[in-house]
Structure 1
Amino acid sequence: MFKEFKNFISRGNVIDLAVGVIIGSAFTAIVKSLTDDLINPIIGIFLGKVDLSNLVLKVGSAQLKYGSFINSVINFLIIAFVVFILIKIINSFVKKKEEAAPQVNKSEVLLEEIRDLLKNQK
């Protein structure tokens, strides 16, 4: 059982996933700081309040903390945008590698097909 666990952990994709989770959590902390420390104060200037997380709507004895929800939406949008940009960058590198592959001339392909057909006729 220990050997199976060791083989499982030794796979590259499991280690890559663990690294991704760690980096993702660190990145989330950075985005939360960006939202709380930079974006919210700017939005707060226009709304007349500096801290959006304190925005609360009271309905009876219930408190609806819509300011915290706005913070979460902003965090999500920032993370989604950064992931989108990263994927675009990665895809551009992949396309460049594919383009770097030698291009086969159509006439060469046709000549090879003709050659193969002539070989088969003999």
Structure 2
Amino acid sequence: MKKFINEFKEFALKGNMFDMAIGVIMGSAVSKVVSSIVTDLITPLISLVTGGTAALSEMVFTINGVNFNYGLFLNNVIDFVIIALIIFLMVKGLNKVRTLALAKKKEEEKPVEPEISSTDKLLMEILEELRKQK
């Protein structure tokens, strides 16, 4: 049990939990904004094109007394597609930043060849000349 508690403390203090909480809060905020965009902007445009009702939520068809709210379904599909697109673009951007950071880190870690001093160069030339004479 003590090991479990220590692992949980390490997890919580590393920041993973805080990152996850921030992600959930941001996701909730993005969801509200996207829902507003769909309800307040996209739905009226669709109704202008279709000449139908002012809101997707009012689009219903009935079969044998059973109502099928296809408008709500369309509203949720549009919400999902927009949110998925936003998440895709965010992940793509983060991956690009991560790739650039790794490339920069690798570039910084490249071993630097030490410069050969003039004395060492002269000694190497002498050694080569001696090898040629043999």
TM-score (norm: length of structure 2): 0.68
Structure 2: gaps of 5 or more residues: 114-134
CA-based RMSD? 2.4
How much identity, in percent, do the aligned residues show? 36
> How many corresponding residue pairs?
104
Runs of 4+ in 1 over 6 A off after TM superposition: none
Rg comparison, structure with higher value: 2
What do residues 18-50 of structure 1 show as CA deviations (whole Å, max 9, x unaligned)?
221111111111000000001111111111122
Question: How do residues 32-51 of structure 1 correspond to structure 2 at under 5 angstroms?
Answer: 32-49=35-52, 50-51=54-55
Partner of 1:13: 16
What do residues 73-92 of structure 1 show as CA deviations (whole Å, max 9, x unaligned)?
00000000001111111111
Q: Aligned pair 1:74/2:78, yes or no?
A: yes
Pick the aligned partner of 1:63 from 60, 67, 70.
Answer: 67
Query: In the alignment, residue 69 of structure 2 is paired with which amino acid?
Result: K
Partner of 1:93: 97
